[in-house]
Amino acid sequence: MTIPDEKIYPRTNDFETIYLKGTITNPNIIVGDYTMYNDFVSDPTQFEKNNVLYHYPINKDRLIIGKFCSIACGAKFLFTSANHTLKSLSTYPFPLFFEEWNLNKKHVKSAWDNKGDIVIGNDVWIGYEAVILSGVHIGDGAIIGTRAVVTKDIPPYTVVGGVPAKEIKKRFDEETINKLQQIQWWNWSFDKIEQFLPYIMNGEVDKLHF
């Protein structure tokens, strides 16, 4: 199940909502099918520039977003270079200004602590102006509240909010969560999803089959 890479606007005459995959050019940003981004402030096709911040090739860290995610306007993904190293006695990033301080250019990455990839699961909803920090992994089906700042990993099907983001509740009981993790409906073919869509939309997990 895939959508054409050239398909960007899924809704007629709606230029604020896009399928994100078709706009990505950076090989270190990987986005799954049907994941959508809405932006009513800026051009949503500029997601790489406006929403993925401090993401420099020198770090080789990746933003990985699964299928069927919903990303609200202004959500930000902050990468490694936003973090000044805590090993130094100073918060000032001296290695960045290697010319000024006669430092070796090859040590420029010592100005920050490398936190690693940001990994977003499938069917994740990221709310308005939420911030996801480097190294964070968010499980399938999670919900990130408006303007939450996510500093730690979020388990599947967990609703979080606040600064820093904390668990508010689980979306479903453990049995339902386990079934959804096993079924992985987001990996089904288009036709199969369409067939079972009424049950998905109505929360009838027992009517979903592998």
Contact call for residues 161 and 178 (beta carbons, < 8 A): no
Four-point Cα dihedral 169, 173, 174, 176, nearest 10: -130
Helices (H) and strands (E) in the chain, counts: 3, 15
Query: What backbone torsions phi and psi does residue 206 show, to the nearest 5 degrees?
Result: -70, -10
β strands within 91-187, DSSP E:
118-120, 125-126, 131-133, 137-138, 143-144, 149-150, 158-161, 166-170
For the question of residue 137 being annotated catalytic, the response is no
Q: Which of 55, 84, 107, 137 is catalytic?
A: 84
Strand partners, 167: 160
Q: Which residues are catalytic?
A: 84
